[in-house]
Amino acid sequence: MITLCGFGVSNYYNKLKLILLEKEIPFHERLVYPWQRESFRESSPLGKIPFIETEYGSLSESQVILDYLVERYPEQPLYPATVFARAKCRELIQNLELNSEWVARRLYKESFFGGSVSEETKREAKERLTSGLKAVAQLAQFSPYILGSTFTAADCVAYVHFLMIDQTTMKIYGENMLERYLPNVVAYMKFMDSRPPIQTMMEDRDAALAAFLKLNVKYDG
């Protein structure tokens, strides 16, 4: 049995939760906050969440975990059928994650956690985010799923990261950069909202956010 460890506000945690729900893999959840990192460094060397516990040991890094789940549970495959199409799916995921969300993340301290980031960081992030989102726009299809007619792992990744990029760019730049570079994104997110796994994840996310806010701890992502 898989135990997903982390907290439900994290987009990387929710990426894996969506994969587990979409693939109908039975799993437990264990609430672990990033600031408790010394208690879980054995399982996640950088002290980041999410990580999973399995009967074979622990695994960290969400994309590694995603690939593990896809290989371990081949039913309801969430990668395309051919080798090249699978690589294209990973190419899109890399651009969503490394070249877009990971760039926007530099702004979360100000957009979500009440701190501030320098003007230089904002300028630099905007430039890099523009490149990342243009790459996503070039690779994405939105017809109706992000890679065409079939739901894939890239949809799980896109949904959770789009939520963050949308809110962050509105707050920091007063402009929704997602909508600027991906004009189909609004209809896409609405379409995705009708999926039961997304609804479950979002309800749990609301509850996790309320619990996190009640803790009143200082955390900046």
Positions touching ligand GSH (CB under 6 A) are: 10-12, 34, 47-50, 61-63, 221
In angstroms, the CA 134 to CA 136 distance is 5
In the chain, which residue ranges form alpha helices assigned H by DSSP? 11-22, 62-72, 83-96, 102-104, 108-111, 119-139, 153-173, 177-181, 185-192, 196-215
**Cβ–Cβ under 8 Å, residues 65 and 53:** no
Q: Which is nearer to ligand GSH, 49 or 177 (CB)?
A: 49
Give me the least distance between CB of 4 and ligand GSH, in Å please.
12
| Strand order across the 2-6 sheet | 27-31, 2-6, 51-54, 57-60
Q: Which is nearer to ligand GSH, 50 or 197 (CB)?
A: 50
Give me the least distance between CB of 114 and ligand GSH, in Å please.
16
SS3 category, 26 = coil
| φ/ψ of residue 51, rounded to 5 | -145, 165
Give me the least distance between CB of 81 and ligand GSH, in Å please.
25
Q: Which is nearer to ligand GSH, 72 or 187 (CB)?
A: 72
Give me the least distance between CB of 194 and ligand GSH, in Å please.
25
Give me the least distance between CB of 165 and ligand GSH, in Å please.
13
Sequence-ordered list of residues with C-beta below 8 angstroms from that of 141, at least 6 positions apart, any chain: 147, 148
The conformational region for residue 143 under phi > 0 = left, psi -120 to 50 = alpha, else beta, is: beta
Q: Which is nearer to ligand GSH, 23 or 161 (CB)?
A: 161
Q: Which is nearer to ligand GSH, 15 or 23 (CB)?
A: 15
Q: Which is nearer to ligand GSH, 45 or 183 (CB)?
A: 45
**Cβ–Cβ under 8 Å, residues 89 and 80:** yes
Give me the least distance between CB of 10 and ligand GSH, in Å please.
3
